Amino acid sequence: MKFTLLACAMSLLTGIASAQTCLSDAPTTASEVQFVDNGDGTVTDTDHDLMWMQCSLGQTWENGRCTGDADALTWQQALQQAHGYEFASLDGWRLPNIKELASLTERQCVRPAINETRFPNTPSDDYWSSTPSLTDPQRAWVVAFFNSSNSIKQKDLFVFVRLVRTAD
Domain residue limits, the chain:
29-166
Rounded Cα distance, 92 and 89, in Å: 10
pTM score: 0.81
At residue 7, the pLDDT reads 41
Kindly state the average pLDDT of the residues 87-96.
Answer: 97
In degrees and rounded to multiples of 5, residue 147 shows phi and psi of -145, 15
Asked if 113 contacts 148 with a C-beta cutoff of 8 angstroms, the reply is: yes
- pLDDT band at 114; cut points 50, 70, 90: confident
| Pick from 15, 58, 24, 43: nearest CA to 161 | 58
Query: Confidence band (pLDDT; 50, 70, 90) for 134?
Result: very high
E-assigned strands of the chain? 21-22, 35-37, 42-45, 50-53, 60-62, 65-67, 109-110, 126-132, 139-144, 149-154, 164-166
47: three-class secondary structure by DSSP: coil
The proportion of the chain whose per-residue pLDDT surpasses 90, expressed as a percent, equals: 66
Check if CATH label 1.10.10 holds for domain 29-166.
no
Q: What pLDDT does residue 28 have?
A: 62
Least confident of 12-21, 34-43, 56-65, 80-89: 12-21
Query: How many other CB atoms sit within 10 Å of the CB of residue 92?
Result: 14
Compute CA distances 101 → 21, 37, 46, 59, whole Å: 21, 18, 15, 18
